């Protein structure tokens, strides 16, 4: 079963063709046109600009994805079983571009549509080239817009256990990078600078809600704690010393987030007797999070296997949307193009 996935929730225009078989998915093509270079001068995504870029990029990106997958225009109806589109959550004007394109293609080529929640897409990135993933699974989804623990009882069967009350983990990385004036998006930059740190400066930041009796998160206080410490150091240190201390802050900030995420993921896995733990979302690209979560699971959850998406499928892409679409299409879960609507606040 071949599926065309389309993704335009935020600032990546993406299209991909995947082939699903049994409980795993193979990627035939994966095209992502990122707008990071356009938005980075503003320190975040400007919705109006993002939507206009999507309009320019979406057809070339889809054409390239079909070409790379070896699908000729005249064979589109015959080869594709479904078009999978993310209809939320995300920026309303960005989502609309993908949705209207999917509707048009569905109508012209007479191909059914599966509508996919963007977060669900991140989760199904784990099923690309997957080894056997057993249920129940605990999924830690960490991205720029969401931080959530999910109980996955089976395919298309999700229960939200807890989420962030304020900033998402990725958003916290992005805002912290802005405070330190080191660039956008913050996650990859902070993680790179943290590698240079020596960890000998005795900087400590809080681990918000680490011992709370639930699966909720909060990261905005962590960012404020960082701001106060930076302000103090800026007054106390000369420019060179202040610059040199930034990697140390990056190390501690990253570790504070990782500690909270790992503690709650382990707790949820124990409570629900998880057979697998999955990591999902843009922050799942974080090298230390991948390593430390795996290590903790090996040490603390003997009968649980750990799964993480390949790096190419961590930040926004359409292969993950096509992957989620495959698991819906094989259960015959389609939506008539006339009823397909954008929902910027779509819940999992």
**Binding-site ranges for ligand KG4 (CB under 6 A):** 10, 143-145, 170-171, 173-174, 185-188, 191, 281-283, 285-286, 315-316
Closest approach of Cβ 161 to ligand KG4, in Å?
19
Are 242 and 249 in contact by the 8 Å Cβ rule? The answer is no
Of 266 and 321, the one with the shorter C-beta distance to ligand KG4 is 321
Of 46 and 225, the one with the shorter C-beta distance to Zn ion is 46
Of 173 and 327, the one with the shorter C-beta distance to ligand KG4 is 173
Strands across the sheet containing 276-280: 157-163, 147-154, 137-142, 276-280, 305-307
Q: Taking Cα atoms as reference points, which of 40, 5, 30 lies closest to residue 188?
A: 40
Which one of ligand KG4, Zn ion, none is in contact with 309 (Cβ closer than 5 to 8 A by kind)? Answer: none
Residue 141 engages Zn ion in binding (rule: CB under 5 A): no
Of 141 and 255, the one with the shorter C-beta distance to Zn ion is 141
Closest approach of Cβ 320 to Zn ion, in Å?
8
Q: How are the residues of the chain apportioned to helix, strand and coil, as percentages rounded to the nearest 5?
A: 50, 20, 30
Which residue in 12, 57, 174, 316 binds Zn ion (CB under 5 A)? Answer: 316
Cis peptide before 60 (omega within 30 of 0): no
Closest approach of Cβ 249 to ligand KG4, in Å?
15
Which one of ligand KG4, Zn ion, none is in contact with 286 (Cβ closer than 5 to 8 A by kind)? Answer: ligand KG4
Burial of 344 (0-12, 13-18, 19+ CB in 10 A): middle
Of 111 and 116, the one with the shorter C-beta distance to Zn ion is 116
Residue 248 engages Zn ion in binding (rule: CB under 5 A): no
What is the per-residue burial (b if ≥16 Cβ within 10 Å, else e) of 257-292?
A: bbebbbbbbbbbbeebebbbbbbbbbbbbbeebbeb
Burial of 234 (0-12, 13-18, 19+ CB in 10 A): exposed
Of 12 and 106, the one with the shorter C-beta distance to ligand KG4 is 12
Residue 314 engages Zn ion in binding (rule: CB under 5 A): no
Torsion of CA 186, 191, 195, 200, to 10 degrees: 80
Size of the site for Zn ion (CB under 5 A): 2
Which one of ligand KG4, Zn ion, none is in contact with 185 (Cβ closer than 5 to 8 A by kind)? Answer: ligand KG4
Q: Which residues bind Zn ion (CB under 5 A)?
A: 143, 316
């Amino acid at each position: 079963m071949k599926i065309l996935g389309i993704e335009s929730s935020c600032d990546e225009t993406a299209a991909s063709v995947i082939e699903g078989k049994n409980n795993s998915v193979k990627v035939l093509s994966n095209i992502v046109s990122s707008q990071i270079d356009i938005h980075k001068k503003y320190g975040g995504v400007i919705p109006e600009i993002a939507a206009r870029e999507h309009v320019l990029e979406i057809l070339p990106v889809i054409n390239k994805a079909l070409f790379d997958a070896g699908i000729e225009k005249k064979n589109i109806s015959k080869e594709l079983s479904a078009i999978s589109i993310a209809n939320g959550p995300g920026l309303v004007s960005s989502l609309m571009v993908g949705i209207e394109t999917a509707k048009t293609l569905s109508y012209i080529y007479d191909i059914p549509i599966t509508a996919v929640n963007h977060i669900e897409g991140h989760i199904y990135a784990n099923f690309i080239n997957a080894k056997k993933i057993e249920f129940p699974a605990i999924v830690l989804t960490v991205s720029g817009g969401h931080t959530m623990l999910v109980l996955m009882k089976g395919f298309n069967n999700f229960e939200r256990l807890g989420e962030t009350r304020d900033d998402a983990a990725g958003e916290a990385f992005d805002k912290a990078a802005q405070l330190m004036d080191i660039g956008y998006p913050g996650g990859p930059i902070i993680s790179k600078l943290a590698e240079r740190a020596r960890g000998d400066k005795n900087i400590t930041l809080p681990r918000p809600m680490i011992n709370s009796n639930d699966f909720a998160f909060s990261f905005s206080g962590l960012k404020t704690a960082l701001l106060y410490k930076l302000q103090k150091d800026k007054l106390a240190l000369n420019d060179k010393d202040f610059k040199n201390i930034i990697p140390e802050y990056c190390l501690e900030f990253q570790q504070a987030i990782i500690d909270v995420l790992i503690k709650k993921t382990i707790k949820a896995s124990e409570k629900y007797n998880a057979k697998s733990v999955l990591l999902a979302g843009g922050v799942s690209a974080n090298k230390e999070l991948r390593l430390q979560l795996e290590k903790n699971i090996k040490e603390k959850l003997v009968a649980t296997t750990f799964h993480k998406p390949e790096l190419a499928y961590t930040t926004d892409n359409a292969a993950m949307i096509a992957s989620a679409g495959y698991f819906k299409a094989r259960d015959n879960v389609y939506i008539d193009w006339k009823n397909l609507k954008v929902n910027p606040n779509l819940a999992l």
